Structure 1
């Protein structure tokens, strides 16, 4: 066999292998009913593969199936983590980005919220993250107005905790001078 023919055969083999790998990836992310929920996830949670299920809420927790899929929750269990709080009440969404003082949150129920983070924004983390964020050097005297209503157990943490993909349990925003500003952001694990 000539070198030219051998090189051509090797390229054809490489092309065939890449097409096989791409075909396998497409098969694993199928969505035959086009409801933007992967068939594998729908099958795992006993949802119909023939009917659009994305806007339904089988467990009645206030979070539709698309939101349950995004948050990696069970659409048939209203309290997927068994902590006594319904899924729709404890998972507001996830941090999409935090750049230049602007925090974008992708909501679990769909859509996004964008607002500025200022020095007055309260950022609370679950205890394990807050401890890790506050163990570094510096002054621990926080003498600001807390407005604590006693309904949460998060600890203060800094803006460094606003990382993409981080769960947001709750957020409060206001408008100030025509701009949206986050007053408080509670982060989950």
Structure 2
């Protein structure tokens, strides 16, 4: 059996810690969504002007139209991901409040996918820094990503512990996983009679 936290940050219950995490995630995703919407409302000329400035400052030749399209598509993707994060965070908060463990699963899935992507990014950045020949750069990447990944893993385990706690609460006295719940007092007389 894997390690399961009994409290969040050593001082609050798993349920309250999950709710706090859900609210922080909701606020962060919502602010990111608003930021993306602000940039999407900018005119196309603003993006092409910005791309032209960047190419002149860095002495790089790039087509401003292609650069603007890339910027707009990146902002739209960020807005879509922020919108999905907002919905998943709302589901997490509602799932904990209403004791619905199936509403917590999308949040867990998105966080596990995020952790996997962070791992791939770390490995690719270390590979690039080794190829370039900068050991200091790869050490910096490790110092930045590994603590972030450890904190993310701990918070995923807190949400998973809350999920399991809600599943256990919902299973007391009811059927769980197709197996009927049997009281221990019902088993004792049968064992003594045999």
TM score, norm. by length of structure 1: 0.21
| Structure that is richer in strand per residue | 1
Return the structure number with greater relative CO, CA threshold 8 A, min gap 6.
2
- Higher helix fraction (1 or 2): 2
